[in-house]
Each structure stands twice: as structure tokens, then as C-alpha cells.
Amino acid sequence: MNDVIIIGGGPAGAAMGCYLSMAGIRNTIIEKANHPRPHVGESMVTSSTRIFEEIGFLKTMEETGFVKKYGATWHAPANRGKFSIEFAEFPQPGIHQDYTYHVDRGKFDHQLLKHAESMGSTVMQGVVAKRILFDGDQAVGVRVGLGDQEVDMFAKVIVDASGRGMLVGRQMRMIEKDPVFNQYAVHAWFTDLDKGDDHTRDHIHIYFLTVERGWVWQIPITEEITSVGVVVDKSVFSEFHENIEAYFNAQLQTNSNLAHTMRNAKRINEFKSEGDYSYSMRNFVGNGYLLVGDAARFVDPIFSSGVSIALYSAKYASECIVAAFEKNEFGTAVFQPYEDRLRQGAGVWYEFIRLYYKLLPLFTRFIANPEYRLQVLQLLQGEVFDRSEVPVLDAMRNYIETVEKSSSHIFRPQLADIPLE
């Protein structure tokens, strides 16, 4: 019998394998794909570097030559220049570099999974997890598909790191879709963008669009290749009757800086689409099982929080699993501290993102304000865990309330129609 079975070999599952192996706990990672595999989510936040260093993976990140990400830049719809921040403004505890990375997720995920294997995880690729097995209400194993056969594998703890496959969530009907966000993304890789030649060339660039909750990401994958994705409310996309290219090109023209950047761009792969971005599971833990990464919660892609939440969920969940083996207790109670911690951190991300979407172009006023700039920078760098108070979020709320109370306020038309309660 395994000590732990991990379903999914993405960042959450691979990092979980690393932490468990470091603690001397036998673990098997079951991954349905054969890596490398394509995946969206190519930009990191700097707090992820702390995890990479803890599991001994930072050297690989450096040696691979991923594009270094030193900051972020925002562009308003009209051609009014751009607004940037640099991560070096706020040195983070336990992190010894002022940059993070943009990555080719196929390469990144593959290397992280190989690293987990080198640390001691048993990795099974091309194996599909069909369902979790229970003895009463205690998770005891996983039924997997091997070719045309099904085999039952057993363990003391099951970790669902299946990402948006959400194996446990679907099986136990625990998925709760977000009542506010219904975002839809279309993205592809391009060459020949005009990225300029200043210090923001390797930033993540975010362009505000004129449609409700609309924005575009620009992420350098290599010196030549750039990922570009358009994100809007799903209702906007539906107006184009699923003509993806027409929809994509129409949105590019609504931001003058973006239109200029993309004027000579050439697409080098097929468009991909992602929907139903924001959701949460009713429970993250139960008797004998834990959910990590996207299998537990996904907020929104706007601040590249997905991989960071995945990595930190693996870290915090692994700590509870180690405690469970020390106590030889595998019930919900021993895993509950992990759920509480992840909900708190993801909750900060969610509140920040909701206020951001409400403000959109007005958001840069808080970055420009010396009183709040470093607090915003901390959030953008992923420092959301172990924080009970985030004053800048209260300031954003108060600002929104002031604008909404005045029907003649100059900025009222710029506030998005998003409820804050």
C-alpha cells in the first residue's frame, strides 16, 4: 500500500510529491497526460520562488533559461501611456532575487514532475484516475484506468491535484460556481510583436478593454514568442457566435497601445479557449483526502495567482499530511488547518481581484498612491497567506463607495457593474 496517492502531476501534485518525499512519506503521482503537455498559465508571481527554493527546484528554473519577470505594466484603453511597477521595490522575506519567471508551461510542468520523481515520488503517466474509493466515509484508494483495464490502488491519504478536472469535486458534487465572475478567455502564441525596447519589455503587460471586465494579457515565453490572451465576460464572447478569431481581433482594436503592439504579429499555433474560471469546492478536506490547487479553488487568471496557490496549497497540505502520519490519524480534523489557511489566502486574492475588476482603469490610482503602493505590490507578489488585515482593500472599498454615492462623480461611469457583497 502507498502512504499517499496524488492524482495529477501539475504544479500542485508535483510540489506535493516533493514535500512528502522530503518528509520520508512514500507517494505515487498519477497523471493522465504524458508530459510535456500544453497548458495555460504561463506567468508566475514572485512568492512562488520561495517554494521552488524549498523543494530544490530553483536551480532548474535558472538553468532552463525561462524569461525573467521583473514587474508588471498596465495600459488604459486610450493611448495615454502605461503604468508600471517593479518587484524590486518590495524585497520579500525568504526570497533572494527581485524577479520571477514567465514559462512555457509544457516545459515547466514536465521539469517539475521529473524533479518530484528525482526526489522520490513514483510517477505514473498516461494513467487515468476514474474515481476515489471509500470505505464508509473514509477515502481509501483510487480506481485507475490502465489501457482497457481498471485497477484499484490503495493508500492512507488521497490528494486530489487533478486541476480543473476536479475529480473529487465532481464525484462528490461539491463544485460551487462563482456568483459574480463568468469569465472567458481566448489565447494563442504570436511572434513579431512590437514590445518596445525599454525596461518593461519582459514585464507581464495587461491591457484594459472597453467591454465589461475585459482585459488582455501579454506574456513573453521566449525572446521571439509571446502569449496573448483576451479575457471578457462570457456574454461578450457569445455575441460573436463562437467565431474565435473575429472575437479576438475585434478586442485587440479596442486598446490603442495593444493594437499598435500587435499590428504586425503572426499567430503560430491554434487559438485555445478557457471558460468557467472562478469556482470553489464546498470542502477542501475530508476523511482521508485533501484537495489542492485548482482541484480545490480557482479565483481568476488576472494576477497569475493560479500556480502560486497551487504551490502553497501543496506546501500547507503536506504539513498536515505529515502531522497525520505522526499521529496515525487520517480524519477531517487533522487536515482542517490546511483548509482554513488556504481559504484565508485565496479569500484575500478573491477580494483583491473583485475590487480590481470593479475599478479596472481606476486601479492604477492605488499603485500611484505612496500610502498604498507597497501593499498593492505585496498582493501582486502573492503575499496573501498569514495576513489577517489588508488595509488597501478597505481603502479600495471606501473609494468605490464614495464614487457610487455621487451620481455626478467624474469616475462613476468607469466603475464596473460588480456587487461587492
pLDDT bracket for residue 311 (50, 70, 90): very high
Regarding whether 283 and 270 lie in a shared domain, the answer is no
% residues pLDDT > 90 (the chain) = 62
* Per-residue pLDDT, 80: 67
* Per-residue pLDDT, 97: 93
Number of folded domains that form the chain: 2
- pLDDT tens, position by position, 9-37: 999 999 999 999 999 999 999 999 999 98
Residues 332 and 287 sit within 8 Å (Cβ to Cβ): yes
- pLDDT tens, position by position, 44-103: 999 999 999 999 999 999 999 999 999 999 998 876 678 899 999 888 888 889 999 999
- Domain boundary, last residue among 218, 248, 275: 275
* Per-residue pLDDT, 420: 67
Q: Is residue 91 part of a domain?
A: no
CATH number of the domain at 413, please.
3.50.50.60
pTM over 0.85: yes
- Report phi then psi at 72, rounded to 5: -140, 150
* Per-residue pLDDT, 237: 73
The domain of 345 spans 1-66+103-178+279-421
Res. 389: pLDDT tops 80: no
Res. 414: pLDDT tops 80: no
* Per-residue pLDDT, 411: 75
Regarding whether 227 and 118 lie in a shared domain, the answer is no
pLDDT, averaged across the chain: 91
pLDDT bracket for residue 412 (50, 70, 90): confident
Q: Which of 67-76, 86-95, 151-160, 277-286 has the lowest mean pLDDT?
A: 86-95
* Per-residue pLDDT, 241: 65
Mean pLDDT along residues 98-118: 96
Regarding whether 266 and 117 lie in a shared domain, the answer is no
Res. 123: pLDDT tops 90: yes
- pLDDT tens, position by position, 343-375: 999 989 888 888 888 887 788 888 888 889 989
Regarding whether 304 and 393 lie in a shared domain, the answer is yes
Q: Which of 96-105, 297-306, 376-385 has the lowest mean pLDDT?
A: 297-306
Regarding whether 167 and 118 lie in a shared domain, the answer is yes
Mean pLDDT along residues 174-198: 88
pLDDT bracket for residue 340 (50, 70, 90): very high
The amino acid at 21: S
- Domain boundary, last residue among 275, 299, 326: 275
